[in-house]
Amino acid sequence: MDDGTSETPAEPAARANATDGGTQAALTIAISSRAVFELDAANQIWQTQGIEAYREHQRQNEERPLEPGPAYPFVKRLLQLNGIRSGSPLVEVVLLSRNDPDTGLRAFNSIEHHGLPITRAAFLSGSSPYRYLKPFDAALFLSMNADDVNEAIAEGYPAGLVLPTPLAADDTPDHELRIAFDFDGVIADDEAESVYKTQGLPAFQQHEREHASTVMNPGPLKMFIDRLATIQEIERGLRKADASYRPRLRTAIITARDAPAHRRCVLTLRQWGIRADETFFLGGREKKPILEVFRPHLFFDDQRRHLDAASTGVPCAHIPFGIRNRPELAVATAAPA
């Protein structure tokens, strides 16, 4: 997990240079098989009939490829970032599964069928996955198991609950990967949100005015966006050398903050050396219309109300972090998210 140390604006170039040699990927994510592939029917068998019925089902369908799941387009395009340059990979995806190797073989067969360059996996036979995020140096863990995600977040690891979405196929010809983030409670911690929830809007606005130049503490996905920034720095260098180069990675921050609270967000990102391609200060307006235009392959937010509205047309992941996910502390009803 991030140690809370802020970067200076001069450090992104150093980050990019640091990935020019060596064999470790700039970014590693861990993901469950159910987030990548459509496994609802098999999961229903597990829940209603038990592990042995599930095992038999998976064996009988072992050579039948699984259909893409909600995070499949995100994973596919994330791995395509390795085509940015030759040499050591920029990105690695590790399968982190509660299956055992026997029941998990179908997932690996499906990986091969779909041509996904995923070669590493951990099959845990029902044990908790979060313990292996550090050994794999994972900057993000994605799963459709709420207990696993909540446990990871509680232990200080970056994790997101992938929500069901009807959009899983990825047939568009472009190679661009678009990722959208909420700010408070996702990239940054919930300090400002805590003020809002416990003291109300006027106190929040006053707090942000007084602390506009104070860099916020990192949130659960700060490490993830930081490593994405490393890849974006590489792409900016390629575009500087060749004006015809089209970057493959595009990021957006979509926050309900507005003026004057926008200033602290901007200055925090500047201090961290993170430059989003698009940033929206919506002042409480619905995020769904913006998401429908940006069309992210994954949108991260700590509030289910934003995600439930958007997930019918946009792949989403819930970050169950901070005061927004502790209803016993709720006071106000709106959000500076």
Each residue's pLDDT tens digit, 148-163: 999 999 999 999 999 9
pLDDT band at 174 (very low <50, low <70, confident <90, very high): confident
Selected residue with higher pLDDT from 200 and 144: 144
pLDDT band at 193 (very low <50, low <70, confident <90, very high): confident
Percent of the chain topping pLDDT 70: 88
Structural domains of the chain, with CATH: 13-162 (3.40.50.1000), 173-329 (3.40.50.1000)
**Residue 130 pLDDT greater than 90, yes or no:** yes
Q: What residue type is assigned to position 161 of the chain? A: L
Cβ–Cβ < 8 Å for 302, 277: no
> What does pTM read for this prediction?
0.88
**Residue 15 pLDDT greater than 60, yes or no:** no
**Residue 5 pLDDT greater than 60, yes or no:** no
Region of residue 319 (left: phi > 0; alpha: psi -120 to 50; beta: else): beta
The pLDDT value given to residue 22: 46
The pLDDT value given to residue 50: 85
pLDDT band at 168 (very low <50, low <70, confident <90, very high): low
Question: Counting beta carbons within 10 angstroms of the beta carbon of residue 105, is it exposed (0 to 12), middle (13 to 18) or buried (19 or more)?
Answer: middle
Q: What is the mean pLDDT of residues 45-61?
A: 87
The pLDDT value given to residue 43: 81
Q: Name residue 37's beta-bridge partners.
A: 68
Percent of the chain topping pLDDT 90: 59
The pLDDT value given to residue 312: 86
Provide the annotated active-site residues.
182
Give phi and psi for 281, each to the nearest 5: -105, 100
How far apart are the C-alpha atoms of 232 and 55, rounded to whole Å? 42
Q: SS3 for 69-95, per residue?
A: CCCHHHHHHHHHHHHHCCCCCCEEEEE
Q: What is the mean pLDDT of residues 185-214?
A: 83
Average pLDDT, the chain: 86
DSSP symbols for 201-257: HHHHHHHHHHTTTSPPPB-TTHHHHHHHHHHHHHHHHHHHH-TT---SEEEEEEES-
The pLDDT value given to residue 17: 47
pLDDT band at 121 (very low <50, low <70, confident <90, very high): very high
DSSP letter at 96 equals: E
Which residue do the tokens 């659960």 mark?
Answer: 220
Of 255, 258, 265, which Cα lies nearest the Cα of 201?
258
The pLDDT value given to residue 164: 92
Of 270, 187, 268, which Cα lies nearest the Cα of 222?
187
How far apart are the C-alpha atoms of 124 and 132, rounded to whole Å? 10
DSSP letter at 38 equals: -
Q: What is the mean pLDDT of residues 22-28?
A: 70
